[in-house]
Protein backbone atom coordinates (compact mmCIF):
# COMPACT_ATOMS: atom_id res chain seq x y z
CA UNK A 1 0.00 0.00 0.00
CA UNK A 2 1.43 3.38 -0.99
CA UNK A 3 -0.85 5.40 1.27
CA UNK A 4 -3.27 4.47 4.02
CA UNK A 5 -5.49 6.82 6.01
CA UNK A 6 -7.08 5.22 9.07
CA UNK A 7 -9.81 7.02 10.98
CA UNK A 8 -8.45 10.41 9.98
CA UNK A 9 -10.38 13.36 11.40
CA UNK A 10 -9.84 17.06 10.89
CA UNK A 11 -11.41 20.11 12.51
CA UNK A 12 -10.76 23.78 11.93
CA UNK A 13 -11.81 25.19 15.30
CA UNK A 14 -15.44 24.15 15.70
CA UNK A 15 -15.77 23.26 12.01
CA UNK A 16 -15.56 19.50 11.51
CA UNK A 17 -14.24 18.78 8.00
CA UNK A 18 -13.59 15.01 8.21
CA UNK A 19 -14.61 12.42 10.75
CA UNK A 20 -12.97 9.01 10.51
CA UNK A 21 -11.90 8.97 6.86
CA UNK A 22 -10.46 5.62 5.75
CA UNK A 23 -8.67 5.41 2.42
CA UNK A 24 -6.06 3.07 0.95
CA UNK A 25 -4.22 3.73 -2.29
CA UNK A 26 -1.94 1.19 -3.96
CA UNK A 27 1.15 1.91 -6.01
CA UNK A 28 0.26 2.82 -9.59
CA UNK A 29 -3.39 3.55 -8.86
CA UNK A 30 -5.08 6.58 -10.43
CA UNK A 31 -7.67 7.81 -8.00
CA UNK A 32 -10.15 10.68 -8.16
CA UNK A 33 -11.89 12.13 -5.13
CA UNK A 34 -15.09 13.71 -6.37
CA UNK A 35 -16.78 16.06 -3.97
CA UNK A 36 -18.96 19.14 -3.77
CA UNK A 37 -17.46 22.59 -3.39
CA UNK A 38 -16.14 23.28 0.12
CA UNK A 39 -16.29 19.65 1.30
CA UNK A 40 -12.57 19.64 2.07
CA UNK A 41 -10.87 18.36 -1.07
CA UNK A 42 -7.91 20.72 -0.86
CA UNK A 43 -7.63 20.03 2.87
CA UNK A 44 -7.46 16.29 2.18
CA UNK A 45 -4.60 16.75 -0.28
CA UNK A 46 -2.83 19.01 2.22
CA UNK A 47 -3.26 16.27 4.84
CA UNK A 48 -1.74 13.70 2.46
CA UNK A 49 1.13 16.09 1.68
CA UNK A 50 1.81 16.43 5.42
CA UNK A 51 0.80 20.10 5.55
CA UNK A 52 -2.00 19.70 8.11
CA UNK A 53 -2.15 18.15 11.57
CA UNK A 54 -4.82 15.49 11.97
CA UNK A 55 -6.20 12.96 14.38
CA UNK A 56 -5.87 9.35 13.26
CA UNK A 57 -3.21 7.35 11.51
CA UNK A 58 -1.52 7.96 8.16
CA UNK A 59 0.85 5.40 6.66
CA UNK A 60 3.03 6.68 3.82
CA UNK A 61 5.21 4.43 1.71
CA UNK A 62 6.63 6.90 -0.76
CA UNK A 63 9.44 9.41 -0.99
CA UNK A 64 8.71 12.09 -3.54
CA UNK A 65 5.47 13.91 -3.86
CA UNK A 66 4.38 16.26 -6.68
CA UNK A 67 1.63 18.77 -5.98
CA UNK A 68 -0.25 20.68 -8.70
CA UNK A 69 -2.34 23.57 -7.44
CA UNK A 70 -5.41 25.15 -9.04
CA UNK A 71 -3.35 28.13 -10.16
CA UNK A 72 0.12 27.74 -11.66
CA UNK A 73 2.78 29.05 -9.30
CA UNK A 74 5.65 30.07 -11.54
CA UNK A 75 8.45 32.53 -10.82
CA UNK A 76 7.53 35.51 -13.01
CA UNK A 77 11.05 36.81 -13.62
CA UNK A 78 12.35 33.44 -14.79
CA UNK A 79 11.78 31.87 -18.22
CA UNK A 80 10.00 28.53 -18.57
CA UNK A 81 13.35 26.80 -18.87
CA UNK A 82 14.71 28.59 -15.80
CA UNK A 83 11.58 27.74 -13.81
CA UNK A 84 12.23 24.08 -14.57
CA UNK A 85 15.95 24.38 -13.85
CA UNK A 86 15.02 24.91 -10.20
CA UNK A 87 13.95 21.30 -9.89
CA UNK A 88 16.43 19.60 -12.23
CA UNK A 89 19.96 20.33 -13.37
CA UNK A 90 19.61 17.84 -16.22
CA UNK A 91 18.99 19.94 -19.34
CA UNK A 92 18.29 16.86 -21.46
CA UNK A 93 15.52 15.79 -19.11
CA UNK A 94 14.11 19.33 -19.13
CA UNK A 95 14.13 19.40 -22.94
CA UNK A 96 12.40 16.01 -23.09
CA UNK A 97 9.61 17.01 -20.74
CA UNK A 98 9.22 20.33 -22.58
CA UNK A 99 8.84 18.43 -25.86
CA UNK A 100 6.37 15.90 -24.47
CA UNK A 101 4.19 18.67 -23.06
CA UNK A 102 4.36 20.77 -26.26
CA UNK A 103 6.32 23.58 -24.61
CA UNK A 104 9.72 23.26 -26.22
CA UNK A 105 9.40 26.16 -28.65
CA UNK A 106 8.35 28.44 -25.76
CA UNK A 107 11.19 27.52 -23.41
CA UNK A 108 12.64 31.05 -23.36
CA UNK A 109 9.31 32.76 -22.75
CA UNK A 110 8.51 34.42 -19.42
CA UNK A 111 5.29 33.30 -17.67
CA UNK A 112 3.54 36.61 -18.41
CA UNK A 113 3.65 35.75 -22.14
CA UNK A 114 1.94 32.37 -21.66
CA UNK A 115 -1.76 31.48 -21.78
CA UNK A 116 -3.39 29.89 -18.71
CA UNK A 117 -3.19 26.45 -20.33
CA UNK A 118 0.49 26.83 -21.12
CA UNK A 119 1.28 28.02 -17.60
CA UNK A 120 -0.48 24.96 -16.24
CA UNK A 121 1.57 22.79 -18.64
CA UNK A 122 4.76 24.30 -17.18
CA UNK A 123 3.42 23.55 -13.74
CA UNK A 124 2.86 19.92 -14.73
CA UNK A 125 6.30 19.71 -16.33
CA UNK A 126 7.85 20.95 -13.08
CA UNK A 127 5.97 18.38 -11.00
CA UNK A 128 6.77 15.52 -13.41
CA UNK A 129 10.48 16.42 -13.60
CA UNK A 130 11.05 15.36 -10.00
CA UNK A 131 9.67 11.90 -10.95
CA UNK A 132 7.19 11.85 -8.07
CA UNK A 133 6.01 8.58 -6.52
CA UNK A 134 2.72 10.30 -5.82
CA UNK A 135 1.21 13.16 -7.80
CA UNK A 136 -1.49 15.26 -6.13
CA UNK A 137 -3.73 17.23 -8.49
CA UNK A 138 -5.92 19.92 -6.96
CA UNK A 139 -8.44 20.84 -9.67
CA UNK A 140 -5.63 21.99 -11.95
CA UNK A 141 -7.89 22.37 -14.97
CA UNK A 142 -10.73 24.36 -13.44
CA UNK A 143 -9.74 27.69 -14.98
CA UNK A 144 -9.03 26.33 -18.47
CA UNK A 145 -11.38 26.36 -21.41
CA UNK A 146 -12.73 23.03 -22.48
CA UNK A 147 -10.57 22.21 -25.54
CA UNK A 148 -7.35 23.25 -23.84
CA UNK A 149 -8.40 21.18 -20.83
CA UNK A 150 -8.99 17.91 -22.74
CA UNK A 151 -5.78 18.31 -24.69
CA UNK A 152 -3.81 18.86 -21.49
CA UNK A 153 -5.50 15.95 -19.69
CA UNK A 154 -4.62 13.66 -22.62
CA UNK A 155 -0.94 14.66 -22.49
CA UNK A 156 -0.87 14.38 -18.70
CA UNK A 157 -2.41 10.91 -18.85
CA UNK A 158 0.28 9.80 -21.30
CA UNK A 159 3.01 10.96 -18.90
CA UNK A 160 1.34 9.39 -15.85
CA UNK A 161 0.89 6.04 -17.59
CA UNK A 162 4.38 6.05 -19.11
CA UNK A 163 6.00 6.71 -15.74
CA UNK A 164 3.56 4.60 -13.65
CA UNK A 165 2.87 7.51 -11.30
CA UNK A 166 0.29 7.03 -8.56
CA UNK A 167 -2.10 9.98 -8.77
CA UNK A 168 -4.81 11.51 -6.64
CA UNK A 169 -7.02 14.05 -8.36
CA UNK A 170 -9.54 16.08 -6.39
CA UNK A 171 -12.33 17.62 -8.42
CA UNK A 172 -16.02 18.38 -8.57
CA UNK A 173 -16.05 17.57 -12.32
CA UNK A 174 -17.19 14.05 -13.19
CA UNK A 175 -15.70 14.14 -16.71
CA UNK A 176 -12.28 15.09 -15.37
CA UNK A 177 -12.51 12.32 -12.79
CA UNK A 178 -13.44 9.80 -15.47
CA UNK A 179 -10.60 10.82 -17.76
CA UNK A 180 -7.90 10.78 -15.12
CA UNK A 181 -8.73 7.87 -12.86
CA UNK A 182 -9.26 4.14 -12.58
CA UNK A 183 -11.23 4.56 -9.39
CA UNK A 184 -13.53 7.33 -8.19
CA UNK A 185 -14.35 7.92 -4.54
CA UNK A 186 -17.41 10.09 -3.98
CA UNK A 187 -17.28 12.49 -1.03
CA UNK A 188 -20.29 13.83 0.87
CA UNK A 189 -20.91 17.33 2.14
CA UNK A 190 -19.34 18.25 5.50
CA UNK A 191 -18.61 16.56 7.79
CA UNK A 192 -17.13 14.79 4.81
CA UNK A 193 -17.17 11.03 4.40
CA UNK A 194 -16.50 8.66 1.51
CA UNK A 195 -19.99 7.63 0.41
CA UNK A 196 -19.30 5.79 -2.84
CA UNK A 197 -16.59 3.96 -4.74
CA UNK A 198 -16.64 3.14 -8.47
CA UNK A 199 -14.21 1.55 -10.91
CA UNK A 200 -14.30 3.73 -14.01
CA UNK A 201 -13.86 0.72 -16.32
CA UNK A 202 -17.04 -0.84 -14.98
CA UNK A 203 -19.57 1.95 -15.30
CA UNK A 204 -20.56 4.34 -18.06
CA UNK A 205 -20.74 8.08 -17.59
CA UNK A 206 -24.49 8.41 -17.53
CA UNK A 207 -25.04 5.59 -14.99
CA UNK A 208 -22.28 6.97 -12.83
CA UNK A 209 -23.75 10.46 -13.02
CA UNK A 210 -27.13 9.09 -11.86
CA UNK A 211 -25.50 7.17 -9.00
CA UNK A 212 -23.66 10.27 -7.83
CA UNK A 213 -26.78 12.44 -7.99
CA UNK A 214 -28.51 9.83 -5.79
CA UNK A 215 -25.58 9.80 -3.35
CA UNK A 216 -25.64 13.59 -3.15
CA UNK A 217 -29.34 13.44 -2.37
CA UNK A 218 -30.62 14.66 -5.75
N1 LIG B 1 -6.73 26.97 7.39
C2 LIG B 1 -8.06 26.96 7.52
N3 LIG B 1 -8.65 27.49 8.63
C4 LIG B 1 -9.98 27.47 8.80
N5 LIG B 1 -10.85 26.93 7.90
C6 LIG B 1 -10.33 26.40 6.78
C7 LIG B 1 -8.92 26.38 6.52
N8 LIG B 1 -8.69 25.78 5.33
C9 LIG B 1 -9.91 25.42 4.86
N10 LIG B 1 -10.88 25.80 5.72
C11 LIG B 1 -12.32 25.54 5.56
O12 LIG B 1 -12.48 24.16 5.35
C13 LIG B 1 -13.52 23.90 4.42
C14 LIG B 1 -12.98 23.03 3.31
O15 LIG B 1 -12.06 23.77 2.53
P16 LIG B 1 -11.31 23.15 1.25
O17 LIG B 1 -10.62 24.28 0.56
O18 LIG B 1 -10.51 21.99 1.68
O19 LIG B 1 -12.57 22.65 0.40
P20 LIG B 1 -12.64 22.23 -1.16
O21 LIG B 1 -13.54 21.06 -1.23
O22 LIG B 1 -11.26 22.09 -1.71
O23 LIG B 1 -13.34 23.52 -1.78
P24 LIG B 1 -13.42 24.00 -3.32
O25 LIG B 1 -14.04 22.90 -4.10
O26 LIG B 1 -14.32 25.21 -3.23
O27 LIG B 1 -12.00 24.34 -3.74
C28 LIG B 1 -14.00 25.27 3.95
O29 LIG B 1 -15.18 25.59 4.68
C30 LIG B 1 -12.89 26.21 4.31
O31 LIG B 1 -13.37 27.50 4.60
CB 191 within 8 A of CB 16: yes
* β-sheet bridge partners, residue 136: 67, 168
Structural Rg of the chain based on CA atoms? 18
Kindly give the distance from the C-alpha atom of residue 12 to the centroid of ligand 1, in angstroms, as a whole number.
9
Among residues 100, 20, 29, 34, the alpha carbon closest in space to that of 61 is found at 29
Q: Measuring CA to CA, how many Å separate 9 from each of 1, 20, 52, 194? A: 20, 5, 11, 13
pLDDT at 16 over 80: yes
Ligand 1 neighbourhood includes 77 CB (under 6 angstroms): no
Nearest atom (ligand 1) to Cα of 70: 27
85-109 average pLDDT score = 95
Domain limits of the chain? 3-64+132-215, 74-131
Residue 75's pLDDT band (boundaries 50, 70, 90)?
Answer: very high
For ligand 1, whether the C-beta of 42 sits within 6 Å is yes
142 falls in which pLDDT band (50, 70, 90)?
A: confident
- Band (pLDDT 50/70/90 cuts) for residue 217 is confident
Instruction: Provide CATH code, domain 3-64+132-215.
Output: 3.40.50.300
13: alpha, beta or left, given left = phi > 0 and alpha = psi -120 to 50? left
State the SS3 of 187-216. Answer: ECCCCECEEEEEEHHHCCHHHHHHHHHHHC
Q: Is 34 in the pocket of ligand 1 (CB under 6 A)?
A: no
CA of 172 to the centre of ligand 1 (A): 14
What phi and psi values does residue 108 have, to the nearest 5 degrees? Answer: -95, 10
pLDDT in tens, 116-134: 999 999 999 999 999 999 9
pLDDT for position 143: 81
Could you tell me if the CB of 43 is within 6 A of ligand 1?
yes
* Pairwise CA distance, residues 126 & 114, whole Å: 15
pLDDT computed for residue 104 by the predictor? 96
**Distance between CA 180 and CA 184 in Å, rounded?**
10
| Pocket test residue of 9, 10, 11, 12 for ligand 1, highest count of atoms within 8 A of CB | 12
Whole-complex ipTM: 0.95
pLDDT confidence of residue 72: 84
Per-residue pLDDT tens over the stretch 197-216: 999 999 999 999 999 999 99
Could you tell me if the CB of 39 is within 6 A of ligand 1? yes
Give yes or no for residue 218 having a pLDDT over 80.
Answer: no
What is the total residue count of the chain?
Answer: 218
Ligand 1 proximity of 37 Cβ (cutoff 6 Å): yes
Given a contact cutoff of 8 angstroms between Cβ atoms, the answer to whether 170 and 35 are in contact is yes
Ligand 1 atom nearest to CA at 46: 18
pLDDT of residue 61: 96
- Has residue 52 got a pLDDT over 90? yes
159 with 6: CB under 8 angstroms? no
Query: Confidence class of residue 69 from pLDDT cuts 50, 70 and 90?
Result: confident
Rounded to an integer, the average pLDDT of 82-90 is 95
Does residue 140 have its Cβ closer than 6 Å to ligand 1? Answer: no
Q: Which residue minimizes the CA distance to atom 2 of ligand 1?
A: 12
**What average pLDDT does range 54-80 have in this prediction?**
94
> 210 C-alpha vs ligand 1 centroid, how far in Å?
27
**Closest ligand 1 atom to the C-alpha of 170?**
22
Instruction: Tell me which H or E stretch contains 58.
Output: strand 55-60
Q: Which of 81, 82, 83 is nearest to 104 (CA)?
A: 81
- Relative to beta strand 183-187, strand 30-34 is parallel
Q: Calculate the average pLDDT of the chain.
A: 94
Specify the pTM.
Answer: 0.93
- Residue 19 DSSP one-character state: E
Nearest CA to ligand 1 atom 25: 37
Across the range 92-117, mean pLDDT stands at: 94
Q: What is the pLDDT of residue 54?
A: 95
Amino acid sequence: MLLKLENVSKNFGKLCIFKNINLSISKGEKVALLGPSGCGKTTLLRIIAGLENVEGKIEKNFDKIGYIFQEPRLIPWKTIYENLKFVSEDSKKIDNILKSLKLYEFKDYYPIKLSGGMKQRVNLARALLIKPDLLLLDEPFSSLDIHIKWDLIKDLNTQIDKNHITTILVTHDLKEALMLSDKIYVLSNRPTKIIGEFLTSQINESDLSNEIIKLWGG
